[in-house]
Chains A and B, each alone.
Chain A
Amino acid sequence: MASIAPRKRTGATRQRTSTHEGFLTHRNLFWAKLSAALAVALIALYIFVPLPGTHFGSSWLGYTLGTIGALLILWLTMLGMRKRAITPGRWSLKGWTSAHVYLGLCLTVIGTLHSGFHLGWNVHTLAWALMLIVIASGIFGIWVYATLPQALSSNRYDEEGAITEKQMIEALRSLDRQIHDAAQPLDPETATLVGKSLDEDPFAGTFWNRITGTYPKCATRSTAAELRRIRAYRPRIANDPLDKVDALLTRKEAMLGRMRRHLKLKSWLQAWLYVHVPVTFALIAALSAHIVSVFFYW
């Protein structure tokens, strides 16, 4: 998200004053207030406006809510296209995202009131349920966007400064080369063990491994453990190549752990979209079926 440069620089302090304004607080919560007002107004309409029959999708209020809801869903989906064009100003991408979030939350009220609380095992309720799944995954997305980037940054920082993704893999490569060289004097048994660590793909692992950050079959760790077990029964000698390999493997393990934490955080940041986006399209399909069916069996 774009940061606004501090207006005044007094020079008195070097401390950086962040004036970053995220999409959640954009324009002093304009869209949040608008959506809340809309939701309250619609609930009031629902409660207080007299209708000739019961509350149902086919009352004038129902049709109005349904039309607003359907158009809103299509507009919300447009964020996928809009986000690829970043523009500043009133209709900035940030403003758009802010509206997406808060109007999307408001959609729970619109959609549910449109249902008139008549839910059943049918395509209409399917559309409603898919809508809720999309919104719930979106809420989850907001939560991870609001909390995880800080953890992501702190994981990348150490005493030597920040490390980029490219530097992470480069560090691993460098360690691997050093391990390779240090392991040359080893006997076939231990060399094979070290080879397993080198042959391991640092990005391997299932989605589950990524999202939990647990890699029970990590070759580097098992190599290090095995080497230590072997060394434990050997007499200590000066310049034992295993010492060096062990030290290097420990460093690799640390680096790998850091990268995997990075991967875990990034997975959490991305995974919700794998629900949010496909279910949105399922929702649009169900919405189409809902609308067609209503007119089909008019």
Chain B
Amino acid sequence: MSFLVRQIALKSSGEEIVRPTTVEGDVLTIGRDAACDIHLPDLAVDPRHAQVTRQSDGSLVIASIGAQPFEVNGRSTTQSPLDPVAGAELTFGGHRISVSVDAESGEATFTVRRVEAVSDSAEDKDITTVYTLKGLLPGKRMSAWTFAILVLVSFLAFPIYSYMTYKPLAMQEKARRPDGFHADQTWSSGPLSLAHKNLGGDCQACHTQAFVAVTDKACLTCHTKDAHDHIADKSRLLKARGEPEGMARLQRAVATAFNRPAGRCVDCHTEHEGAGAMPATQQQFCADCHNGMKSRLGDTKLADAADFGTAHPQFKPMIISGMNGKKPLFQRASWTPGLTENNGLKFTHGQHLSKTNGIAQMVRRMPGRFAANDALQCKDCHKSDATGTRFKPVVMEDSCQSCHSLSFDQVGGTFRTLRHGEPELVVADLRAFYRGGAPARPANLSGLARRVPGDAALRSTAADYARAVRFYPTRAEQAVAQVFSQGGMCYDCHTVNRGGSMASGGFTVQPVAQNDRYYHKGWFDHKAHNKSDCADCHVNAATSNKASDLLVPGIDGKGGCRSCHVGGEGAKLASVSVKDPVDSSCAMCHSYHMDAGAPWAPKKDRKKDVAQTVAVAERPRFPVKLR
């Protein structure tokens, strides 16, 4: 018996070459050794790997010679029967041997074929890619798409989703997003200023609508009390500012084209520029409009102003121009050195502050009573109010009465005084005094009197007394007239006129008004000046001998503000000499959002006791309820 071995080799053209050999005998060896019947030049094959033996019954068995296994029909084994009729496939390393029966001779046939290349490098390699990083790193296209989509989802889609979710909360003062992260926070271009810090996660508190620039309405949702309009009419404001020039003009044009109108709160109050406190308003902000505003806004009542040192109009104090009943009428008048104001009193500062006259003498006689021991001082009468900003009105009872006494009677050690400020009561008191009283009884009318012989003298005295008693009440009118006339208590200080009612004895006292604030458009704080002497500014007080002299200083002249205050950058007029200049920008006295209080100042520059109005921005955080 014999085996037929067919070795198949491949030509480079791909054509097969078959080299058949016949192996005589009942044993067929397979191995790398060239002496084997089936020689497999394959390093994965043992020199003598396996052998096929024909059994006595004619069937074939394949078995490993060593311990090395081989594969039969894809399964690893060391021994297996073979049926050439049914066929089988043996695998040794990179070779495959198919077992079949030769059609002509009927002999078992072993067809040997190399199926694996000699080495890995001999296999097909795509020369264009093997030397590149392809397959070792994620592809550029792939990662480009991944990164781009990741960024778009996290920083575009997600924030828009956040916006849409909380959209109904916009413009609602009492509603807030819940705490925590909201994706549109990643859009914030920078931290909010300290005042708005707690709005940080609540973009829609200000950005109420998509693609619409922040509106004033959004600001006013919270700033209900402290955003007083400087100019209610936005178009006037813009006109006052004038047309922008140069690059600013370009910016305005672009901003308008992109639906970002000028003149909104946020034009000046820019946000997202750092977590600091809001800075003080720069002089430039004011001067932009107010410098030469008359030429742009013809009908304005305001004078042009640019720098306090060089370009500021004269002050216009609010002075009492007359009385409407008991209420004073005020009028603004341009300050001049000789400006007068009639407050109804005859008080003269010069007399009272003199160091040589009777008043000073009286002070010297009462050491310890007054602030100084040689003459009256300002503070003997003028007391500052609780904030120290201004002075309380002078009160007659506290400041005048110690000298200008209204006593008219003494009962024991107690003095009875006339009621100040109420002429009718004065008259009534005096009438009552004379009605209820009597003249002093002459001593000789008492029972114990020594008698001159004869009744005539006594009778005469009695008759005189009886007449005196009879006419005593009528002396009241005399006293009333005396009080209200020259030399009388009232007349000393007040202007008294005829023409009053019967109740006031036919007299009227001109009402008195005290002006508590002269400059309403600018802010003046006496406390900030308490290191100065009063006379430094109120220079004429000691010499003023006219009650109507206005002792309030103006912008310039002796004691005027420009004596110390220079412009924001230290500018001053050539005619003014300043010893210790104080740089004063607009914001020192003026506020954009004007109210009765002090101008807004950053917290660090702020005096502790100055009341500041702040926004009611502390809105409650509610869990979001969406309709």
Contact = CB atoms under 8 A, between A and B. Distances in A.
A263 B131 contact: yes
Nearest to B93: A195
B48 to A, nearest CB: 10
Report which residue of A191, A285, A295 has the largest number of chain B beta carbons within 10 angstroms of its beta carbon: A285
A223 to B, nearest CB: 11
Contacts of A226: none
A122 B133 contact: no
Given A122-B188, A199-B119, A203-B125, A298 B212 contact: yes
Q: Give chain A's interface secondary structure class.
A: helix
Contacts of B37: none
Given A210-B136, A296-B160, A188 B47 contact: yes
A63 interface: yes
A88 interface: no
Nearest to A208: B136
Contact of A192 (B44, B130, B133, B140): B44
Contacts of A281: 144-145, 147-148
Report which residue of A123, A195, A270 has the largest number of chain B beta carbons within 10 angstroms of its beta carbon: A123
Contacts of A176: 118-122
B270 interface: yes
B285 to A, nearest CB: 9
A184 B144 CA distance: 51
Interface in A97-146: 118, 120-124, 126
B120 A198 contact: yes
Interface string A24-62: 000000000000000000000000010011101111110
B393 interface: no
A1 B386 CA distance: 85
A267 interface: yes
Given A169-B121, A278-B144, A297-B184, A289 B41 contact: no
B32 interface: yes
A194 interface: yes
B122 A60 contact: no
A127 B190 CA distance: 14
Report which residue of B121, B146, B270 has the largest number of chain A beta carbons within 10 angstroms of its beta carbon: B121
Nearest to A62: B251
A66 to B, nearest CB: 11
B151 interface: yes
A218 interface: no
B415 interface: no
A88 to B, nearest CB: 26
Given A124-B189, A262-B131, A56 B137 contact: no
A267 B187 contact: no
Interface size on A, as a range, is 35 or more
Interface string B177-193: 00000001111111100
A75 to B, nearest CB: 18
Given A266-B131, A274-B140, A289-B155, A118 B273 contact: yes
A168 to B, nearest CB: 9
Contacts of A266: 131-132
A140 to B, nearest CB: 15
A79 interface: no
Interface string B4-43: 0000000000000000000000000000101000000101
B47 to A, nearest CB: 7
Given A172-B121, A202-B121, A296-B163, A59 B251 contact: yes
Interface in A254-298: 262-263, 266-267, 270-271, 273-274, 277-282, 284-286, 288-289, 292-298
B44 A277 contact: no
A278 B143 CA distance: 6
Given A173-B119, A274-B143, A278-B140, A297 B203 contact: yes
16 contacts: A54-B273, A56-B273, A61-B247, A122-B185, A122-B186, A173-B121, A195-B43, A274-B140, A282-B148, A285-B149, A285-B150, A292-B156, A296-B159, A297-B207, A298-B207, A298-B214
The list of the 3 closest CB pairs from A to B, nearest first, reads A176-B119, A282-B147, A60-B251
Given A118-B190, A121-B186, A191-B44, 19 more contacts: A49-B247, A54-B270, A60-B251, A118-B274, A169-B127, A180-B118, A184-B43, A192-B43, A198-B43, A200-B120, A201-B120, A202-B121, A203-B130, A207-B133, A266-B131, A277-B144, A285-B150, A285-B156, A296-B210
